[in-house]
């Protein structure tokens, strides 16, 4: 009988991070070795797969092809997405939905947001950035910590949003082993902010990173189960589209955390944006997560280092440890107001710098966050924030909208909105 190394677990942030990192790395190495393969051999399997994907993307890009999949909303709604489109979507793990909303609708929402913040003297009262992650330009922010405008809520609870979210959720395996990990047909209306970046803006962009977690990805029992195939030497079995053990476990708190499980991160464009105006880029390879999770176990990484990952900061993807992956960084194509942009929740992404931006760069952040135990728990605090006009608990406690009379009201919720907030 073989003994299996039991992985140490920390359900809350360890007090001594370097010690915990040393301990988990040593246990993971021992556990992988029990498979009969070395850590180097297991990593080589992952690296070969990812390298093939990187080279395929480089080749497509050099042929002038659009790396990002693009699908018309009308095709999603009518169930006309082809097998070839679906295959590319799974392979790349990101998507532009063309015409998700009529362009006039998106432009009207953008104008409504401007009216909403101006009528409520937002700029006069703006106190500066409430967190250390997004900066501001002058006195007017680019990221508006605004959550409860009619425009945002109408988009979140719209049938068109539900249709796309359901389509994207269906790419995942949502039930296995007799457990329904999430309900693909019900979204939890995760409230997030707005970005409005004006013409002429200079922006340093945002470095490549990922958002699903930090050290908890290696250290909590739920994530250890979610990544079990990476940690037991069977990376061939790892499926980036399997939601098992991802929708109920604990997470380490931090200023950049997202409390909910998202199948995809996303935003809806409220202005036209050209591909070279400081837009979103990703490493469009869902399997890259396997590389990111195993890379720290190689011998060239110091024993108390997880390739730079620590708590309270986003998970960085850097040239020092992930140069192979960064070769595949691919930007979105030109988008128009009303298009939406989506990327797998584990995907490396960043925002390009821009000088003297041409045109506006306006988006509403709306992800696909399907109903599951984790999202149901967060929905309770969202409901309270919605009712009082407060900032949701994942975000700095700025609470600009509490006294704004024209924020979206409970009576304006439709069925999607009621279900999303756990009221229906």
Query: Which positions lie near Fe ion, rule CB under 5 A?
Result: 211
- To Fe ion, the closest distance from the beta carbon of 368 in angstroms equals 15
The residue (of 144 and 315) whose beta carbon lies closer to Fe ion is 315
Beta bridge partners of 98: 72
- To Fe ion, the closest distance from the beta carbon of 349 in angstroms equals 6
The residue (of 246 and 262) whose beta carbon lies closer to Fe ion is 262
The residue (of 211 and 398) whose beta carbon lies closer to Fe ion is 211
DSSP 147-161: ---HHHHHHHT-HHH
- To Fe ion, the closest distance from the beta carbon of 6 in angstroms equals 33
Separation of alpha carbons 112 and 150, rounded Å: 8
Question: Long-range contacts for 116-120 (Cβ within 8 Å, ≥24 apart)?
Answer: 116/146, 116/149, 116/150, 116/151, 116/404, 116/406, 116/407, 117/144, 117/146, 119/406, 120/400, 120/401, 120/404, 120/406
* Rg over CA atoms, the chain: 21
Backbone angles phi, psi at 388, to 5 degrees: -100, 0
- To Fe ion, the closest distance from the beta carbon of 211 in angstroms equals 4
The residue (of 99 and 367) whose beta carbon lies closer to Fe ion is 367
Largest pairwise CA distance in the chain: 72
The residue (of 365 and 404) whose beta carbon lies closer to Fe ion is 365
By the 8 A CB rule, do 246 and 322 touch? Answer: no
Nearest residue to Fe ion, scored by beta-carbon proximity: 211
The residue (of 184 and 213) whose beta carbon lies closer to Fe ion is 213
User: Which token pair is 313?
Assistant: 């900061």
- To Fe ion, the closest distance from the beta carbon of 92 in angstroms equals 18
- To Fe ion, the closest distance from the beta carbon of 210 in angstroms equals 7
By the 8 A CB rule, do 325 and 318 touch? Answer: no
């Amino acid at each position: 009988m073989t003994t299996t190394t039991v992985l140490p677990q920390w359900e809350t942030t360890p007090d001594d991070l370097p010690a915990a990192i040393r301990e988990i790395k040593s246990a993971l190495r021992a556990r992988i070795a029990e498979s009969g393969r070395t850590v180097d051999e297991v990593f080589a399997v992952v690296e070969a797969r990812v390298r093939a994907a990187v080279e395929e993307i480089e080749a497509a890009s050099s042929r002038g092809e659009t790396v990002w999949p693009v699908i018309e909303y009308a095709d999603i709604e009518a169930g006309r997405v082809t097998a070839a489109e679906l295959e590319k979507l799974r392979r790349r793990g990101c998507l532009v939905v063309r015409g998700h909303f009529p362009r006039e609708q998106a432009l009207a929402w953008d104008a409504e947001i401007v009216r909403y913040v101006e009528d409520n003297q937002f700029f006069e009262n703006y106190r500066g950035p409430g967190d250390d992650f997004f900066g501001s330009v002058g006195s007017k922010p680019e990221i508006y910590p605004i959550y409860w405008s009619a425009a945002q809520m109408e988009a979140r609870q719209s049938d068109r949003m539900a249709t796309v979210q359901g389509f994207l959720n269906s790419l995942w395996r949502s039930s296995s082993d007799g457990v329904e990990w999430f309900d693909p047909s019900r979204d939890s209306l995760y409230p997030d902010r707005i970005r409005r970046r004006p013409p002429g803006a200079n922006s340093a962009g945002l470095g490549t990173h990922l958002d699903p977690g930090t050290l908890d990805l290696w250290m909590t029992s739920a994530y250890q189960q979610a990544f079990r195939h990476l940690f037991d030497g069977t990376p061939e079995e790892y499926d980036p589209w399997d939601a098992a053990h991802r929708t109920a476990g604990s997470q380490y708190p931090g200023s950049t955390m997202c409390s909910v499980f998202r199948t995809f991160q996303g935003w809806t464009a409220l202005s036209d944006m050209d591909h070279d105006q400081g837009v979103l880029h990703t490493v469009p390879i869902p399997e890259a997560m396997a590389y990111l999770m195993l890379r720290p176990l190689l011998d060239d990484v110091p024993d108390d280092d997880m390739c730079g990952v620590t708590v309270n900061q986003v998970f960085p993807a850097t040239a020092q440890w992930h140069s192979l992956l960064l070769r595949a960084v691919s930007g979105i194509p030109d988008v128009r107001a009303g298009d939406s942009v989506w990327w797998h929740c584990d995907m490396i992404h960043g925002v390009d710098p821009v000088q003297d931006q041409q045109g506006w760069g306006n988006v509403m952040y709306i992800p696909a966050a399907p109903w599951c135990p984790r999202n149901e728990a967060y929905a309770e605090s969202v409901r309270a924030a919605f009712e009082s006009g407060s900032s949701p608990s994942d975000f700095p406690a700025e609470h600009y909208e509490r006294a704004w009379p024209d924020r979206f009201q409970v009576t304006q919720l439709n069925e999607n909105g009621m279900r999303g907030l756990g009221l229906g």
